[in-house]
Structure 1
Amino acid sequence: MGGLFQGDGLPRAGGAGRARRWRSFASRVAVLTAVLIALVLVVPARSDAPAPEPTSAPEAAEPFHMPPPPDGVRGVYVTGALAASPQMDRLLDRLAGTEINTIVLELKDELGRITFRSSNPLAQAMGAVRGELGDLRALVDRLHRRGFYVVGRMVAFRDHRLALQRPELALKDVQGNIWRDRQGIAWINPAQEEAWAYLIDLAVEAALAGVDEIQWDYVRFPTDGPLDRLVYPEGIRREETIAAFLAASRQALRPVGAYTSADLFGFAALTRGDMGIGHQLEVLAEQVDVVSLMLYPSHFPPGALGLEDPDRAPYETVLRSLKAAAQRVDRRKLRPWLQSFSLRNPYGPQEVWAQILAAQEVEVSGWLLWNPSGRYTTPRQLMGSTAPVQEAALQRPVEKEGVDEPRG
């Protein structure tokens, strides 16, 4: 496809130097700006109407699966509400003619809600099936016909509904009560193989509907809340537990033609340990086809990566993180999530494009843009003038004095 993110408009390692890339930055951003503006989406309000009744399991005919695009995955995340609305066709029309070739669909969220019409008996009994996507196979077929690789995002162990409905599967506190994180959400115990079976059954069901890849999010142990009151089974090894789940998932999904990937904290690229949550890069990379490090510059603290403020240095933040990761695992296994939202600082086209340039420089297998609401917007004041873009592009990041790039 041509248009946005054209292959000959992206930097290649071993080509012209970084200075040339930055000098041509403004012209590239002009193209990016046009399409990011076109991605302004109005996400419909969540309906309180009951979900449609689940239908029978997908028909037995073997589903069609697309392989990952050979020139790299370049995708955007789409919420269940957006995918189920008339706005979805508008989004697809606006993506036509661009190099966005992948849609990441929300299939299961952290509250345990399932967006497709699952026939899983436990999911139905718990009332977990919202089903707003309707016929998942029909939706996936529509995306395939338009040339999109389809990734299904499924939240793993942060599952409020399953934890409450099946407390024997939930993480517990020191008093034996269901433990909850800082937001009041309950988790299932990552070591519970019965919980694995539920999650993997849902993933296989989605794959049989034609979803090309299952991407596991929250595939870890908790990071926030009253962690000192959390009780784990004696002798549990977190990284081995997460790796075993991912291995079981891949073993089940390969026969039905689906790839697997896992979302990892960005800091997994910078530390050799598992950070106490099971995210050990080398161990997990062996059990999936692709690792998606969440390299949101706003999530890196001051001083990280030797940068005074990583949030104001999106290019260097992503570049240094991916270079560190590529020294430890095959770069073809790396496909980062990039920040397409504003948190501490406004993020417009130059910040998004800077991250893409960094990923392209390290020659990883692609990239995904994340916006939690499914809105991909850009500040309108940048339209009609490349001066702010050029100025931002030429600014060098401020190094943190006395701080070296982390080496694990």
Structure 2
Amino acid sequence: MSYNGLSLTTHARRVQLMSTNTKKKRGAGAAVVIIVLCLAALGALGYVIWQQFHPAVPETAAGYVASAESTAPVYDEKGELLGSLPRGSEVQYVLEDAQGDAQRIRVVNGEGYACIDRANLTDDYAAVVQVETVYALRGMSLVDETGAVPGCAVEKGMALTVTGFDGLDGQGEVLRWQVSCDRGEGYIDAANVRMTEEEALAQYDDALYQRHAARGDAWGGGDAAGLDYYPTEKAAIPGNDMPEEVRALYLNGSAIQYADSYLRLAEGSGINAFVVDIVDGTAVSYASPVMQQYSPSAYAAAQDTMEGFRANVQKLRDAGYYVIGRITVFNDAHLAADHPEYVISDLDGTPLKISSMYWPSAYNRTVWQYKTELALEAAALGFNEIQFDYIRFPDGAYKYEKAGTIDYRNTYGESKAQAVQRFLLYAAERLHKAGYYISGDVFGECANAYVTACGQYWPAISSVVDAISGMPYPDHYSAQGDYKPWEHPYTTVYNFGESAMARQSETASPAAVRTWIQCYNAIREPYNHYGAAELGDEVRALRDAGCTGGFMTWNGASDIDKYAEVISALS
């Protein structure tokens, strides 16, 4: 029994021991679970905390700032205005915002975000300019994408439908607008448009404009009210210094071939410039590739090769002279022969010979392009400046106008004076961009306070060109009884100068007044001799009248003996 008792006692102890071990194992398992749960909770808490400091980066895409203005407003995420971004700026925007209904889209701003109105965001760079209509500031011609081909006329205040744009500056301003209207399509520089019709129609100086408008259309050359008086920029061209007073000898296409002789004459005389013919009516100075393209007859009539002409022009430049290239524009028998469809004609289309000349129409944009392309080509041969002569319609056309038998080929219903000014605006834009000055020759009559019958109006021309050159040759003025103006060169030229300076005060961006002076003996009785004394009177008259831009000697033959006779008066 004792064995059995011992045996029972031992068994009980074993059972007790097993129970204790089981409890220990269960306690350890629970602890592990608790530890795991705590670690999970800590991990979750850590993740939450990490997310607070490291939020998920949303997916972004590239877009552009779009606006009707040059900039678009930018806000912080609370809706407070931060500033603005230039139109056309590239941004990274949050796709989730753009795909949702948010009215403001987040865009990357450094390490954070800013917000931009949905309307001011686009994926298409061509759509960044949200402008439908602009308005022409001045009457002018549109051009093609290259800027070389003049197109349809637009009038001041005309609405132009925006079809695109050509470039933005760093502030989001459009550089050039692509537009269309019922007359055609093309490009126009931003400086020549305004955003509202009211702004475009406003005059730069209304009191001054009213003075012009009151003059009306006295002689059929156009209403002064229809011309442009908004100032044009005439900055000095780097590396191309125009003398304050130009003192120039004129050389025709034959004379330039003897450049050395004229240089010897001019040395030490006070002469500081030369005017050299590029083309003078039918007299063509060199074989121009531009002429070959537009007017083969002119090319065939050339007096010299391009290389020979360039060499002689360069002699003048190398000697330190300011060199002006002269081109007759709307008087061209060669172009009339090659393209009669460009020429002022009768009603059957036959070119009219008026005042012994044929006249390509100043309304014709292809003529504009030809003469400006020629100017650019020639300028590159060594000229500082291009001077346009015959920037007018023919004198002597009145009888045809009265009879109704003349076709000016006036496509856009412009006045004569509008056509002249608009040609100069087009040519000046291209020449200035290429680094050359532009000047224009006008009749002495143009200094009067009216638009001339041939379409010249001093304030409208002076406002565009860098130098305006009247031609107040004393023997071109009519006698008043026994009084012959050519016998009084000082008084005649002084009276012109006073009138010219009065016109200068009527434009906000006047040109230099650089005048042609008579350097030949009078062609009317008693055929007065013009020597050093007479030319000295002309020069003194200009200076006394305030015409300080200088003078040029007109002698059609470029007579070196005459120049030698008078050169002492030209210092």
Using the size of structure 1 for normalisation, the TM-score is: 0.71
User: Matched residue pairs, number?
Assistant: 313
Q: Report the Cα distance in structure 1 between the residues aligned to 2:531 and 2:320, rounded to whole angstroms.
A: 27
Asked if residue 116 in structure 1 is aligned to residue 286 in structure 2, the reply is: yes
Contact 1:80 1:133 in 2 (8 A): no
Q: Cα 1:377–1:301, aligned 2, differ >3 Å: closer, same or farther?
A: farther
Contact 2:295 2:334 in 1 (8 A): no
Alignment correspondent of 1:333: 512
Q: Cα 1:159–1:381, aligned 2, differ >3 Å: closer, same or farther?
A: closer
Secondary structure in 1 matching 2:450: coil
Alignment correspondent of 2:556: 372
Alignment correspondent of 2:483: 308
Could you list the per-position Cα deviations for residues 71-126 of structure 1 after superposition, in whole angstroms to 9, with x for gaps in the alignment? x10001101111113xx312211110111111100101112x43123221424633
Contact 1:265 1:295 in 2 (8 A): yes
Alignment correspondent of 1:284: 461
Displacement of 1:280 in angstroms is: 0.5
Of the three residues 137, 141, 144, the one matched with 2:314 is: 141
Q: Report the Cα distance in structure 1 between the residues aligned to 2:534 and 2:377, rounded to whole angstroms.
A: 38
Secondary structure in 1 matching 2:358: coil
Residue identity matched to 1:366: G
Q: Cα 1:332–1:286, aligned 2, differ >3 Å: closer, same or farther?
A: closer
Of the three residues 421, 424, 427, the one matched with 1:249 is: 427
Of the three residues 372, 375, 383, the one matched with 1:211 is: 383
Could you list the per-position Cα deviations for residues 156-211 of structure 1 after superposition, in whole angstroms to 9, with x for gaps in the alignment? 0001011111111111113321111232x211011000111111000010122221
Q: Report the Cα distance in structure 2 between the residues aligned to 1:303 and 1:226, rounded to whole angstroms.
A: 24
Of the three residues 332, 347, 351, the one matched with 1:174 is: 347
Q: Cα 1:254–1:105, aligned 2, differ >3 Å: closer, same or farther?
A: same
Q: Cα 1:220–1:127, aligned 2, differ >3 Å: closer, same or farther?
A: closer
Alignment correspondent of 2:497: 322
Larger strand proportion of the pair:
2
Q: Provide the aligned C-alpha RMSD in A.
A: 2.6
Displacement of 1:377 in angstroms is: 4.2
Alignment correspondent of 1:232: 408
Displacement of 1:347 in angstroms is: 1.4
Contact 2:471 2:516 in 1 (8 A): yes
Contact 1:263 1:292 in 2 (8 A): yes
For structure 1, which segment, 336-345 or 220-229, has the greater mean C-alpha deviation from structure 2 after superposition?
A: 220-229
Displacement of 1:376 in angstroms is: 4.8
Contact 2:248 2:272 in 1 (8 A): yes
Could you list the per-position Cα deviations for residues 197-256 of structure 1 after superposition, in whole angstroms to 9, with x for gaps in the alignment? 111000010122221111011110001367414322463301110000011111110111
Of the three residues 44, 67, 76, the one matched with 2:241 is: 67
Q: Report the Cα distance in structure 2 between the residues aligned to 1:127 and 1:303, rounded to whole angstroms.
A: 42
Secondary structure in 2 matching 1:172: coil
Contact 1:65 1:210 in 2 (8 A): no
Alignment correspondent of 1:361: 544
Q: Report the Cα distance in structure 1 between the residues aligned to 2:369 and 2:389, rounded to whole angstroms.
A: 16
Q: Cα 1:126–1:233, aligned 2, differ >3 Å: closer, same or farther?
A: closer
Residue identity matched to 2:512: K
Residue identity matched to 1:73: V
Structure 2 unaligned segments of length 5 or more: list them: 1-237
Structure 1 unaligned segments of length 5 or more: list them: 1-63, 383-388, 390-408
For structure 1, which segment, 325-334 or 211-220, has the greater mean C-alpha deviation from structure 2 after superposition?
A: 325-334
Q: Cα 1:176–1:358, aligned 2, differ >3 Å: closer, same or farther?
A: same
Alignment correspondent of 2:393: 221
Contact 1:239 1:278 in 2 (8 A): yes
Alignment correspondent of 1:81: 254
Contact 2:441 2:470 in 1 (8 A): yes
Max radius of gyration: which structure?
Answer: 2
Q: Report the Cα distance in structure 2 between the residues aligned to 1:379 and 1:259, rounded to whole angstroms.
A: 26
Residue identity matched to 1:244: R
Could you list the per-position Cα deviations for residues 238-291 of structure 1 after superposition, in whole angstroms to 9, with x for gaps in the alignment? 111000001111111011111001110001112x22221111000111111111
Of the three residues 252, 261, 274, the one matched with 1:103 is: 274
Residue identity matched to 1:365: G
Q: Report the Cα distance in structure 2 between the residues aligned to 1:133 and 1:322, rounded to whole angstroms.
A: 39
Contact 2:297 2:335 in 1 (8 A): yes
Contact 2:249 2:552 in 1 (8 A): yes
Q: Report the Cα distance in structure 2 between the residues aligned to 1:179 and 1:201, rounded to whole angstroms.
A: 26
Counterparts of 1:127-206 in structure 2, within 5 Å, are 127-129=298-300, 130-132=302-304, 134-135=306-307, 136-183=309-356, 185-206=357-378
Residue identity matched to 2:377: E
Q: Report the Cα distance in structure 1 between the residues aligned to 2:537 and 2:470, rounded to whole angstroms.
A: 17
Alignment correspondent of 1:397: none
Residue identity matched to 2:284: I
